Structure 1
Amino acid sequence: MGAVTIDGSDGDLDRFAERVLRGSTAVETLSPVERQMRWDILDRSGFTRSTALRSGIGLTVTKLRWERSWSMAFDHGISRLKFVVARGPGPRLTTSEGGRHRLEGGSFHVSQIKRPVRLQFDFDERGADRDHEQLSLEIDRARLSELLGTEVLPAAVERVLSSPRAYPSDAHPIAPALFRLIDELVHCDARGPARQLYLEAKGLEVLAVMVDGLEESERAASSALSAYDVDRLERARQIVLARIDDPPRLPDLARLAGLNEAKLKAGFRALFGDTVYGYLRHRRLDEAYRLLQQRRYSVSEVAARVGYANPSKFAAAFRERFGIPPSHVS
Structure 2
Amino acid sequence: MQAMQIDGSERDLESFALGVLRSAASIEAPTPFERRVRWDVRGNTGFISAFTLRSGISLSAARCRWEQPSGMVIDHAPMRLEFVLARGPVMQVRSSDGNDHSLGGGTFQIGQVKRPLKLVCAWDESALGQDQDNLCLAIDGQRLCELLGAKALPAALERIVAHPGGYPRAAQAMSAPLYRLLDEILLCDARGVSRQLHVEAKGLELMAAMVDLLEESERAASPLLSQHDIARLERARHILLARMVDPPTLPELARHAGLNEVKLKEGFRALFGAPVFGYLRNHRLDEAHRLLRQRACNVTEVAQRVGYENPSKFAAAFRKRFGVSPSTVG
TM-score (norm 2): 0.83
Find the counterpart in structure 1 of residue 273 from structure 2.
273
Query: 1:1-330 residue pairs with structure 2 within 5 A?
Result: 4-23=4-23, 25-165=25-165, 167-226=167-226, 229-230=229-230, 233=233, 237=237, 240-241=240-241, 244-245=244-245, 247=247, 259=260, 261=262, 264-285=264-285, 300=300, 303-304=303-304, 306-315=306-315, 317=317, 325=326
Shift of 1:28: 1.6
1:97·1:166 contact (CA, 8 Å) conserved in 2? no
CA displacement 1:115-154 (0-9 Å, x = unmatched) = 1111111112222222211111111122211111112112
Structure 1 pair 143–228 and aligned structure 2 pair: CA distance change class (3 A): closer
Structure 1 residue 57, shift from structure 2 partner: 1.0
State whether residues 66 and 129 of structure 1, in contact with CA within 8 Å, keep that contact through their aligned partners in structure 2.
yes
Determine if contact 1:241/1:280 at 8 Å carries over to the other structure: yes
Contact 1:48 1:63 in 2 (8 A): yes
TM-score normalised to structure 1 length = 0.83
> Given residue 213 of structure 1, which amino acid in structure 2 is its aligned partner?
L
| Structure 1 residue ranges without an equivalent (≥5) | none
Matched-pair contact (CA < 8 Å) for 2:4–2:75: yes
Moved more, 128-137 or 223-232: 223-232
- Aligned-residue offset at 1:6: 1.8
Q: Distance in 1 between matches of 2:197 and 2:137?
A: 16
Name the stretch that deviates more: 34-43 or 199-208.
34-43
Corresponding residue SS for 1:223: coil
Q: 1:69 to 1:304 in 2, by over 3 A?
A: same
Cα distance in 2 between the residues matched to 1:140 and 1:88:
28
Q: CA deviation at 1:83?
A: 0.5
Q: Which letter maps to 2:14?
A: D
Matches of 1:22 and 1:147, distance apart in 2: 39
Q: Give the 3-state SS of the residue equivalent to 1:309 in structure 2.
A: coil
Measure the CA separation in 2 of the matches of 1:260 and 1:94: 35
* 1:287 Cα deviation from its structure 2 partner: 7.0
> Given that residues 40 and 46 in structure 1 are in contact (C-alpha distance below 8 angstroms), is that contact kept between their aligned partners in structure 2?
yes
What is the identity, as a one-letter code, of the residue corresponding to 2:39? Answer: W
Deviates more, 1:219-228 or 1:143-152: 219-228
Give, as a single letter, the amino acid of the residue that structure 2 aligns with 1:112.
Answer: Q
The one-letter code of the counterpart of 1:98 is G
Question: 1:200 Cα deviation (Å)?
Answer: 0.9
How far apart are 1:216 and its partner, in Å? Answer: 1.2
The structural deviation recorded for 1:203 is 0.8
Please say if residues 175 and 209 of structure 1, whose CA atoms lie closer than 8 Å, have aligned partners that are also in contact. Answer: no
Shift of 1:106: 3.4
> Is the 1:88–1:104 contact (alpha carbons within 8 Å) kept by the matching residues of 2?
yes
Distance 2:250 2:229 in 1: 16
Question: CA shift at 1:312, angstroms?
Answer: 3.3
Q: 1:7·1:79 contact (CA, 8 Å) conserved in 2?
A: yes
Segment of structure 1 superposing worse, 275-284 or 301-310 = 301-310
Distance change (3 Å), C-alpha of 1:26 and 1:224: farther
> Which range moved further: 302-311 or 164-173?
302-311
Of 224-233 and 88-97, the range deviating more from structure 2: 224-233
- Paired residues of 1:56 and 1:143 also in contact (CA < 8 A): yes
Secondary structure of the corresponding residue to residue 222 of structure 2: helix
Q: Distance in 2 between matches of 1:179 and 1:91?
A: 18
Going from structure 1 to structure 2, the CA distance change for 1:223 and 1:94 (only over 3 Å counts) comes to: same
In structure 1, how many angstroms separate the alpha carbons of the residues matched to 2:328 and 2:13?
Answer: 37
